Amino acid sequence: MQANMAHEIESEITANDLAQKLGKGVDGIRIKYSRLFAEGHPLFVASFDRHAPLSPEQIQILAPEKRGQKASIPKAGKKTGEPTFRPQPSLSESPLTWKAWVFIACAFVLVIGHAALIWFDMATLWAMPGKIGGGIAFLFIFSGMILMSERSEKMVLIRENMLWAIGTLEALAVVVHHAAFYHNASVAYSVGLGSAALWGLVSVICLLSIGATIFYQKVIRL
C-alpha cells in the first residue's frame, strides 16, 4: 500500500517540484529535457512543460543521482520498435523569432543611446564632474541591460529591481535634458516653440527609453 502511494505521489511530480527537490533551478531540467526531446527519446515525446507531471521513468533519467544510478538514454527507433515522434514545440518553448531579436537589438540600442545622451548632457552642463557623473550613469544603465538578459530563475527578483532602477534613472534624466536642450534651443524658440514644447520633447525622449527598457526586459527572457 505504501509503495503504491509513493508511486502515485512520485508520478505527479512536476519539473518545478523536481528542481526544488534537487535544490537547483528548473532551467537545468528544461535543458536536459529539451535535449532528449530533440533527440527523439521515446519517453520525451511532448515538449517541455514545467507544470506537467513527470513519469517515474522520466524522473530517473532527469535526476539519476537521486536514484543512485546513471540512466541510459536509448535512441528512438533502435531496438525499441517505437517510431520517433516529434510534435511541434509549444509557443512558450519555441525559440525567439528573428523579428523578436531585431526588436531586442533596437530596444537595446535605443536605451544605450539615451544613456549616452544623459552622459553628453551632463558633460555639457557640468564639465569634468558632469563627464564623470554621466559616465557612471551610462555604465549603470549598460550593465543593467546586460543583467536583465539573464534568464536564470534565481535572477527574477533582481531583474525586476533592475528594471525599476533603470526606469527611475531614465525618468529623472528629464531635468538634465531640459537644461541642456534649453541652451541649444535658439532655433526652436525663434519659430515659436517655447518652454512647454521643450518639456514635451524631453519627456517623450525619456518615455521612449523607459518603454524600450520595459519591453526589452519582457521579450528577452521569453
**In this predicted model, what pLDDT tens digit does every residue of 30-44 receive, in sequence order?**
788 878 877 778 888
CA distance 56 to 12: 9
- Contact in structure between 107 and 114 (CB atoms under 8 Å): no
According to the model, what pLDDT value does residue 64 have?
66
- Longest Cα–Cα distance of the chain, Å, equals 89
**In this predicted model, what pLDDT tens digit does every residue of 129-152 receive, in sequence order?**
999 999 999 999 999 999 999 878
- pTM exceeds 0.85 for this model: no
Give the rounded distance of the alpha carbon of 78 from its chain centre.
Answer: 39
Give the rounded distance of the alpha carbon of 140 from its chain centre.
Answer: 18
**In this predicted model, what pLDDT tens digit does every residue of 22-81 receive, in sequence order?**
877 777 787 888 788 777 788 888 878 878 888 888 888 887 654 444 444 444 444 444
Give residue 189's identity as a one-letter amino acid code: Y
Residue 132 has φ and ψ, to the nearest 5°, of -70, -45
| Three-state secondary structure of the chain | CHHHHHHHHHHCCEHHHHHHHHCCCHHHHHHHHHHHHHCCCCCCCCCCCCCCECCHHHHHHHCHHHCCCCCCCCCCCCCCCCCCCCCCCCCCCCCCCHHHHHHHHHHHHHHHHHHHHHHHHHHHHHHHHHHHHHHHHHHHHHHHHHHCCCCCHHHHHHHHHHHHHHHHHHHHHHHHHHHHHHCCCHHHHHCCCCHHHHHHHHHHHHHHHHHHHHHHHHHHCC
According to the model, what pLDDT value does residue 105 have?
96
Least confident of 84-88, 139-143, 202-206: 84-88
19: cell is 528542481
Count CB-CB contacts under 10 A for residue 180: 20
| Domains in the chain: boundaries | 2-66, 98-220
> Nearest CA to 50 among 76, 32, 67?
32
In the numeric block, the cell 531585431 is attached to 102
Give residue 3's identity as a one-letter amino acid code: A
Alpha-carbon radius of gyration of the chain: 26
CA distance 19 to 153: 11
Least confident of 6-10, 95-99, 126-130, 176-180: 6-10
